[in-house]
Structures are given as C-alpha cells and as structure tokens.
Structure 1
Amino acid sequence: MKSLGPVLTVVAALLALWYAAAVVMNAQWTYDQAERAGTEVTLSELLADTMTQRRPKLPAPHQVLSELKKTVIDTKVTSKRSLVYQASITLGATLTGFLTGTLLGIALAVAVVRSRVMELSVTPWAIISQTIPIVALAPMIVVLSSRIGIEGRLIPKTVIAAYLSYFPVFVSMVKGLRSPDAMQLDLLRTYGAAPGQVFRKLRLPASLPYFFAAMKISMAASLVGVIVAELPTGAVQGLGSRLLIGSQNGQPLMIWAALVVASALGAGLILMVGLLERLLGRMMGVRA
C-alpha cells in the first residue's frame, strides 16, 4: 500500500494540471460568447463553462470519462459505435503484425549470427529500412496492396505493424545471441558440443532477457503502426478510424476517448509480455 502513495500523488498532480490546462485553453470560447452577448464572465461562470463545452479544445478529465462510459459501458460490444468493438479490430491486426515481425526479426538475427555474409548483406538494409517515415510508407503499402488485388484492410495493417516491430527484435536478438563470452563458448567446445547444441544450450537462453525487452518495444510499435495504417485507408473500423472520424467531424471527445482506449490497450499488451517473461523465467528456474 505504501507504494501507491507516490503513484497517486503523481496522478493527482497530472489531473490538476489537466484541469488547469482545460480552463486556460477553453476560456477563449467562453469570453467570445460573452462578448457577443454583451455580458461579463465571472470566475465561477468561466470554470463551469470551460468544464462543460460540447467541443472543447481540451476536454476535461470528467468529460473524457463520460465519453468512455457512453462508448465502452453503455454501448453494446457488437455495435460499431463501441470502442470495445473498435479496439478488438485494432487488437487483431496488432497481434498478427507483432507475431509476423517477431518471427522475421528472430529469423534474421539467427541468420546474421551464424553467417558473416548475412551480417554484411542484411544489417545495413535493416538499418536503412527504419529511416523511412511510417506516415509516408503507410499510404504506399495500402495503395500497392489494392493495386495487386489484395482485398481487405488486415494485410496492409499487418505489413506495417510487422515493419515497425521486426527491427527491435532483430537488433536485440543479435546482441543477445552474441552475449555469451569466449570462456563460456570454449567450455562447451571443450565438452564436444556441436554448433547446434551451443546455440540451443547457451546462445538462446542468454538472449531471452534481450528478447523480452525488445518484445515490449515491438508490441507498442505494432499498435502504433496499426493505428497509423488505419488513418490513410479511410477505415470505418479500428481505433484509428475513430480518431479519423473525430478529427473530420470536430469531435474532440471521440478523439480523446479513442486515445485513452489505445493507451490502455497498449499497456495491457505490454503487461501481457511481462507476465509471459516471468512465467518463462519460472519455468527455466530464474529467481525473481
């Protein structure tokens, strides 16, 4: 319980700053309305109005919570207006892209560690691939997939998520597979271990801490990639579509509610990776 004290203090401070920022950013509309009506605005009226505007520049926390209640709890999960339904669409594409990118990153890392030729040929291109802005690449992938006859929006989103997620896994796995020192490698060779045995019994276990650290980054990158991919497609499903619709229709509450759900989804996915890491660590006899 003592550990909750600092956390709650930070949360309270952030909420106070949020409310203060909402008053400052929304005050101009209140003053403009009062000027048109030829009236004066008292402090209490200012505070009340900035907290209840229908289309505020910055919604207050309680307004965002009210929108979340309406779109998460009060709306049926099967409805397209439900953020739970929209989050499930984004989640499916995120996990598909994450798994694809993770497998690709592991395969490239193993190839690079075991082959000098692969290292010289693959690593520079892997680094260069990450210099392309995703906001420029996403529309190209969407258009290209439609041109070659790929129907549906799952594959473009999966490709973009995999593109963002493979690189952290690739770099971390290369570092992890090469982390055993020369003494450990020489010891296994002294025992007559084959290269495959060295890989399974030494290199692979040594790479796990690096691997799970990279998975957390890759999971977050996959989620961001899917949401970004949903924007240029004019998608009608997914959290990206709610952000797009809210922006086009001037609905800041919709945008903020979708952002909160996306953040919660990302936190849940990273927590899931952490739990998987702890579970695997216990199976391998790692002490917490």
Structure 2
Amino acid sequence: MLKSRIFPVLAVVAAIVAIWYVAAVFMNAPVQRDMDKRAGVTSTTWQLVEKTMSQAKPTLPAPHQIAVNFFENTFQRKLTSNRSLVYNGWVTLSSTLAGFAFGTVLGIAIAVGIVHVKSLERSLMPWIIASQTVPILAIAPMVIVVLGAINITGLVPKALISTYLSFFPVTVGMVKGLRSPEAMHLDLMQTYNASLGQTFWKLRVPASVPYLFTSMKVAIAASLVGAIVGELPTGAVAGIGAKLLAGSYYSQTVDMWAALVMGSVLAALLVFSVDIVSRVVNRMMGGRPA
C-alpha cells in the first residue's frame, strides 16, 4: 500500500527534475555562449552543458545548485545570521502565525454571526466574497503606508495582511460546518427544549470541527503567502520575502530559489501541524481515526 503511494510520487518528482535540468541548459546556454565569446573560449557541447549547470547567476538554477545553497544557508550558517534561511524563515513564520491566529478568530466570529443573524448573511457575506477579488499585491502597500503613518510597523502590518488572506477560508468553512447538522437533529434539540446556546455548543460546534480544520489548512498556507507578500513593500531586512527581494535586486537567482524552497518547507510543516492537531481533536471527540 505504501509502495503504491510512494512510487507514483517519486516518478513525478523524477520527471520534474529531468525537465528542470533540460530547461536550465536551454535557458542558461545563451548567456554562457556570450560569456565564452567574450573570453575567446570555444566549448564543446558537453562543456557548455557543464558550464550552464555551474553559473554563479544563472537564469534558471539547476536543482543541485538550489539544493547546495539551501543546505549551506540552513545548516551551515549561524541562526542569527541574516543569510540563514532558518532565521529568515522564523521572521516570516512569526508574522504567519500571528496573522493566522487573528484570521481564525475573525473568521469564526463572522461565521457565528452569519449563521445566527440572517441580516448579516445578506449584508456581510457579499462583501466578504468581494474582498477576495482584490489582489493582495494591491492591498499590501496601502496597509503598510496607512499603518506606517500612525507609527505601526514591524510585525503588525504583515500579520494584518496575513489575516486578510486567512480569515476568508475559515469563514466559509465554519459557516458550512455550523449549518451541517441535519434538520432532524435540530428538531430533536428543540424537542428537548434546548436553548440556542446549548444547540450551538452541543450540536453545531461539534459538527463544524472537521470543516474548521479543513479550512484552517487552507488558511495557514494563505497566511504564509500573506506574510511573504507583506515583507516586499516594507523594505524588510529579514524574512523570506526580504530574501526574494534582495535576490531580485542583485540577480542572485540561486538564493531566490532556495528561499522559495524554504517557504515551501514552512508551508508543508504548517499544514502538517494543523493536520496533526485535527487528528488529536477528532480522537478526543471520539471520532474514528482517518
């Protein structure tokens, strides 16, 4: 069973890596030919391929260049170094977790209001949906400028941008979850003369938990994206977004790709952490293990 899951994934990864190497050769070859021409060097085809794999500032870094850079800047740098991906990852992670916490609380609060107040559903839900049609790249600079004008800088602006992206999936998932109990169960609660609060805590909330954690997986990944985007217009000196920005300024494409890999690793760890918590909560509530 495990082999049937692993082999297809490995096959896809191997195909992507092979295509990546071929693309790296073709995209880096024109620059390398120009460098050889200026140096008065004539390279064979194999020598040209080798050189495209070892350029200091390639157009598209080869996978092994990214892997080496990621290893060096993750395990061979001091944790306090600005070049350490662990340090930069922690800076982004702090904004991500703060924004995710705010977004989750806000999303749950809005969902509870929408479920229990009909006027909120009609007046608020369309605006919530419309808010997600505005590109985050357009909103982030405005948030930074407005908060900067009142001397609010640092973690808070980035956390608010993460909140903007993370509250929406939580709101939608929680609304669906709170409304998931069947009419028969709601009628049964009325038969027992249960109050609105008792129906909420004993029926609606337990039924909404699976929906909540599913939406939280989406929300925490979106929160990470918001934190990275929030670092771009702030001129931050640390964080994954700052590494991407510095890499683009100085054409350090290998550093940029390594930072992207760190972002992917963080996203995977965050989603996995939410999944673990959901399994623990499900087991505590008496649910069957998935």
* TM-score interval (norm. to shorter): over 0.9
List aligned pairs for 1:65-76, cutoff 5 A.
65-76=67-78
Distance 2:34 2:151 in 1: 52
For residue 168 of structure 1, report the CA deviation from its aligned partner: 0.6
Residue identity in the other structure for 2:134:
I
Distance 1:218 1:153 in 2: 22
Q: Look up the match of 1:238.
A: 239
For residue 8 of structure 1, report the CA deviation from its aligned partner: 1.7
For residue 37 of structure 1, report the CA deviation from its aligned partner: 4.4
For residue 116 of structure 1, report the CA deviation from its aligned partner: 1.0
Distance 1:147 1:269 in 2: 33
For residue 120 of structure 1, report the CA deviation from its aligned partner: 2.0
Q: Look up the match of 2:221.
A: 220
Q: Look up the match of 2:100.
A: 98
Distance 1:130 1:206 in 2: 27
**Which string of whole-angstrom CA distances, capped at 9 and with x for unpartnered residues, describes residues 195-238 of structure 1?**
11111111111111211111011001100001001001111011
Q: Look up the match of 1:145.
A: 147
Distance 1:39 1:245 in 2: 32
TM-score of the superposed pair, with normalisation by structure 2: 0.96
Q: Look up the match of 1:18.
A: 20
List aligned pairs for 1:2-81, cutoff 5 A.
2=3, 3-81=5-83
2:112 pairs with 1:110: yes
SS of 1:79's partner is coil
2:191 pairs with 1:173: no
For residue 181 of structure 1, report the CA deviation from its aligned partner: 1.7
Distance 1:87 1:37 in 2: 40
Residue identity in the other structure for 2:12:
V
Runs of 5+ unmatched residues, structure 2: none
The count of aligned residue pairs is 287
Distance 1:155 1:208 in 2: 28
Residue identity in the other structure for 1:175:
K
For residue 188 of structure 1, report the CA deviation from its aligned partner: 1.4
Residue identity in the other structure for 2:111:
A
Distance 1:279 1:100 in 2: 22
Residue identity in the other structure for 1:75:
R
TM-score of the superposed pair, with normalisation by structure 1: 0.96
**Which string of whole-angstrom CA distances, capped at 9 and with x for unpartnered residues, describes residues 254-274 of structure 1?**
101100000000010000011
2:285 pairs with 1:284: yes
Q: Look up the match of 2:91.
A: 89
List aligned pairs for 1:190-205, cutoff 5 A.
190-205=191-206
For residue 126 of structure 1, report the CA deviation from its aligned partner: 1.1
Q: Look up the match of 1:127.
A: 129
Residue identity in the other structure for 1:158:
A
Residue identity in the other structure for 1:68:
F
SS of 1:65's partner is helix
Distance 1:69 1:275 in 2: 27
Distance 2:115 2:109 in 1: 10
Structure 1 runs, 4 residues or longer, greater than 4 Å off: none
Residue identity in the other structure for 1:278:
R
SS of 2:56's partner is coil
Distance 1:179 1:285 in 2: 18
For residue 40 of structure 1, report the CA deviation from its aligned partner: 3.8
**Which string of whole-angstrom CA distances, capped at 9 and with x for unpartnered residues, describes residues 71-126 of structure 1?**
11111111111110010010001000000000000000001111112222221221
Q: Look up the match of 2:267.
A: 266
Task: Give RMSD over aligned pairs.
Answer: 1.2
Distance 1:169 1:242 in 2: 29
Distance 1:248 1:230 in 2: 15
2:218 pairs with 1:209: no
